[in-house]
Amino acid sequence: MSTEKMREEFEAWVEANFGLSVRRNPAGAYQSFGVYAAWEAWQASRAAWTCPYQTGHQLPVKLMLLPSA
């Protein structure tokens, strides 16, 4: 995932859940230290996440047939 896509998701989450401003200064850093710290944690959490499945592993899929009308 690109940094910009990750930032978009983060900013939407911050605004929706906390109502904090995600305004940035001209250098691109968040003006709020709290938002900056949350952004750093957000990035670290994404970098640390690993997929529990090996490459090429297929997840089990169960099909449900709906009755025809």
Q: Model-level pTM?
A: 0.66
User: Does 56 have pLDDT greater than 90?
Assistant: no
User: Does 15 have pLDDT greater than 80?
Assistant: yes
H or E segment to which residue 17 belongs: helix 3-18
Please write the tens of the pLDDT for every residue from 17-54.
Answer: 998 999 999 999 999 999 999 999 999 988 887 776 66
Number of H helices, E strands in the chain: 2, 0
What band does 57 get if pLDDT is binned at 50, 70 and 90?
Answer: low
The pLDDT of residue 22: 95
